[in-house]
Amino acid sequence: MEQLKIDLHNTVTALSSSLDLVGIDEVKHGKRVAIMAKNVALELGWNKADCLTLLHAGMLHDCGVSRAQEHRNLSEALEWDGAEAHCIRGEAYLRACPPLAHLATDIRYHHTRWELLQDAPLDQSTRLRTNLIYLADRADMLQLPFIGTEQILLECPAIVDYARKQAGRMFAPELVEAFAHAAAEEAFWLSMDPEYLDEELAEFGSHQAQVMLNLDDVRALALLFSRIVDAKSHYTEEHSERVAKIARYLAERLGKTGTEVDLIEIAGLLHDIGKLRVDEAIIEKPGKLTVREYACIRRHSYDSYRILRRVFGQTPIPVWAGYHHENLLGEGYPFKRVPKEIDLEARIVSVADIFQAFAQHRSYRGRLPVDEIIKYLKERVEQGTLDAQVVSVVIDQADACYRLATE
């Protein structure tokens, strides 16, 4: 089976960066949690393998959060009754992704109090790891207003005091003491500055070997990304997965074979990753978008392109996914590409995206029947914006495409 060389640390970092888009006011929360937890683990003398697992779990601990309101709820209260839901979702996402499945249990319990973890079916090392993520997560919520300023040096004793008061209840006593010892250094807090944070993660990642993943594992990583995106709203549920299936189906009928078909499918899965930045209130708005709201929507394909370059930069996936709103008149977005610059594969993803979107219930309209979708696609071809060859295949295979889009 065909393999791709993937930097797994860089992939986790990129996924964490995409999760940052959900909480615009708390950018890099996952990375700060990861670095804090890793520094406490080093204080405890944990081995390199456990520290790496902890770092990756910390970066992805909120992978079950796609909606801005849920992110706000988690940020505004040190304990929120609804917190467990995103832990359960995150565990499910990661268990379905073999390259990252080893992080699933840590994510499942990262909002569980230490006193309750004693009854969980976990070994002690897992209890400590997941509870350390919880400790770092709550500490980050307390330091958030002061990050990047000298004020954090005045406020950090209160954060340590909070942790100590929760020793034995929310947090393991040994973790609290190690946290207090590590946090006594000003560098512990000053390293949370966004500029320094990225440097530290890059330095840590430079010592990690790339791994060879078969395309099934790469597809599982892409599916993880897509499930997080599509969970933004029930109106977009499974949108990316269905776009990927339609794109693969069309590509095969246009003569594409082998690895190229797999990469087109992966591009379809990942085309909307940038939509994590878009508030669900915009996605679910039943009426016409304002100019500002539409501008927010328009930037998502560029964000997709930039995020995917970090993981799949050696492949055409970022371009095929990032160009899904370009058109053949050079009037699309975000790059205004002309026809000779738009690969057939990107044109396939574009048509698949349009077809599935119209076949899906949205906040502003119901699902369209197949004949109306075909009529619209024909009009776009006549206008010169969509590829006639790709659309002709959709017309010939309309019923099959509609099944892939809806069933």
Three-state SS for the chain is CCEEEECHHHHHHHHHHHHHCCCHHHCCHHHHHHHHHHHHHHHHCCCHHHHHHHHHHHHCCCCCCCCHHHHHHHHHCCCCCCCHHHHHHHHHHHHCCHHHHHHHHHHHCCCCCHHHHCCCCCCHHHHHHHHHHHHHHHHHHHHHHHCCCCCHHHHHHHHHHHHHHCECCCECHHHHHHHHHHHCCHHHHHCCCHHHHHHHHHHHHCCCCCEEEEHHHHHHHHHHHHHHHHCCCHHHCCHHHHHHHHHHHHHHHCCCCHHHHHHHHHHHHHCCHHHHHCCHHHHCCCCCCCHHHHHHHHCHHHHHHHHHHHHHCCCCHHHHHHCCCCCCCCCCCCCCCCHHHCCHHHHHHHHHHHHHHHCCCECCECCCCHHHHHHHHHHHHHHCCCCHHHHHHHHHCHHHHHHHHHC
- Exactly one of 275, 285, 375, 378 is catalytic; which is it? 275
Look up 275 and say whether it is catalytic. Answer: yes
Residues acting as catalytic residues: 275
